[in-house]
Amino acid sequence: MKDKLVDYIVIDLQPFAFGLGTPVFGDLVDIARLKLVDSKKLNDDAIRIRYQVLRAGT
């Protein structure tokens, strides 16, 4: 994301409690501005959310 090569981020969420894990986006230095584009129920336990990565001036 730091090289501005990502246009959209799609995340599937299914609640699950666990301990430490790997950060989803690694070592982000800058704050990414995101706009929610879509959300969809996948099943009784999961949803898919889609965000557009906003560039400067948008």
**Tell me, what's the pLDDT at 57?**
67
Q: Tokens representing 35?
A: 């706009």
pTM value is 0.71
Domain-by-domain residue ranges, the chain?
8-53
Per-residue pLDDT reduced to its tens digit, 1-58: 677 888 999 999 888 777 777 777 777 667 778 999 999 999 999 999 999 999 876 6
The order of strands in the sheet holding 47-53 is 8-13, 47-53, 34-41
